[in-house]
Chain A
Amino acid sequence: MNKESPLMKMQYRSVYKVPNGKLLKIRLKYDEKSNLIDEINITGDFFAYPEEAIESMENKLKDTLLEKEILLKKIGSIVREENIQFIGVDVESLTKGILMCKK
């Protein structure tokens, strides 16, 4: 796979065992020049209520800059907007899992 091609972005992965929580597995495609999220899949054995909100979170994270403070703020605001209750993961661990995808 060619990293430079704009049509073929590399997919990166992370596996993060959240302390006292569940296993978070993230797949991420991002623009390596702008550092913006292109596509993200948040998977794992955690719980989130309502479940469907995780798909809106994935959509809303598109074009978010891959920086800790920005991600924390963005994910926090999505959690409030969608009224999400997490068990086994939280805003901090999601942020950490996403950033672990970055090489």
Chain B
Amino acid sequence: MKEQWRLLETGYGSAFTNMAMDRAVLVANSEGKVLPTVRFYGWEPSAISIGYFQSLAEEIDLDVCKKLGVDYVRRITGGGAVYHEKELTYSIVISESHRAIPKNIMESYGKICGAVMKGLENLGIKSTYVPINDIITNGKKISGNAQTRKAKTVLQHGTVLTDVDVEKMFSLLKVPNEKIKDKLIADVKERVTSIKHVLGKEVLFEEIAHAMKIGFEQEFNVELVKGALTEEEKELTKKFEKECFSATNWNHRR
């Protein structure tokens, strides 16, 4: 019988809830209270997440965010700023010592990205892993990924772009030089793609989540069993949301 992991399909959530939930699952798993977990989710309202080491004020135009009703949040993972609107986000939480996870951080990025690539393939999209943390198709980025390890537990989350609005994204992000903004937008349009763009049609969130579920099952040779957050995880989510991810001293700390 195949090893069973937990599948969480938590739908659309705010940036603060989304990041708090990933961290709550990380804590619960590190304490041995829940199975390795794969989660799929979306962002409502749309939001920008920045990497742990980025400066909020340097990366994001906070006034434009406010005006457009776009939330912003600092992640516990490193990496760059991401505008989350039309995408599916996954997270995986699993013990560092699990046989499925390479000890080496770089190798583990590749392994987990392998699951995302199999998921894309299930949608008819061929893709390639570009170390450190990108997945590309036809030479353009379709997925970005970021990993942290805490309490001997791996959390990796990442995006699969379903559609992309580069102009809107750039109105929210600070660019070093306004004069070259048009060129930057053109560059990013050349470098980023989406499921809609590749397939020439819209694919439902649920359909993408299903393809990704199968992808994770194939890559890790496990069965993902639909589950729910434990009461303790729900409490932790609320706590992290309030004390960390929606708090000024967290988001503005750098």
Q: Could you list which residues of chain A lie within 8 angstroms of chain B, going by C-beta atoms?
A: 15, 22-23, 25, 27, 41-51, 54, 85, 87-88
A-B contact pairs, 17 of them (CB 8 A): A25-B55, A25-B58, A27-B55, A43-B54, A44-B53, A45-B53, A47-B132, A47-B146, A47-B147, A49-B105, A49-B149, A51-B53, A51-B76, A51-B77, A51-B148, A85-B105, A87-B105
Q: What distance in Å separates the Cβ of A27 from its nearest Cβ neighbour in chain B?
A: 8
Q: Are A41 and B55 in contact (CB under 8 A)?
A: yes
Find residues 48-78 in chain B having any chain A CB closer than 8 Å to their own CB.
51-55, 58, 76-78
Q: Are A41 and B254 in contact (CB under 8 A)?
A: yes
* Interface residue? B195 (CB, 8 A): no
For B78, list chain A residues within 8 Å (CB).
45-48, 51, 87-88
**How far is A42 from B254 in the complex, measured between Cα atoms in Å?**
9
Q: Are A48 and B132 in contact (CB under 8 A)?
A: no
* Interface residue? B106 (CB, 8 A): yes
Q: With a 10 A CB-CB cut-off, give which of A15, A25, A43, A85 has the most chain B CB atoms.
A: A43
Q: With a 10 A CB-CB cut-off, give which of B51, B106, B150 has the most chain A CB atoms.
A: B51
Contact of B53 among A15, A27, A43, A85 (CB under 8 A): A43
Say what secondary structure dominates the interface of chain A. strand
Q: Are B149 and A46 in contact (CB under 8 A)?
A: no
* Interface residue? B102 (CB, 8 A): no
**How far is A3 from B132 in the complex, measured between Cα atoms in Å?**
41
**How far is A86 from B197 in the complex, measured between Cα atoms in Å?**
34
Q: Could you list which residues of chain B lie within 8 angstroms of chain A, going by C-beta atoms?
A: 51-55, 58, 76-81, 105-106, 132-133, 146-150, 176, 254
Contact of B254 among A15, A22, A43, A87 (CB under 8 A): A43
Q: What distance in Å separates the Cβ of B237 from its nearest Cβ neighbour in chain A?
A: 20
Contacts known (A51-B76, A87-B105, A88-B132); A45 close to B54, Cβ less than 8 A: yes
**How far is A87 from B54 in the complex, measured between Cα atoms in Å?**
15
**How far is A15 from B175 in the complex, measured between Cα atoms in Å?**
13
For B53, list chain A residues within 8 Å (CB).
42-46, 48, 51, 54
Contacts known (A47-B78, A51-B78, A51-B148); A87 close to B55, Cβ less than 8 A: no
Q: Are B81 and A45 in contact (CB under 8 A)?
A: yes
Q: What distance in Å separates the Cβ of B250 from its nearest Cβ neighbour in chain A?
A: 13
Q: Are A87 and B132 in contact (CB under 8 A)?
A: yes
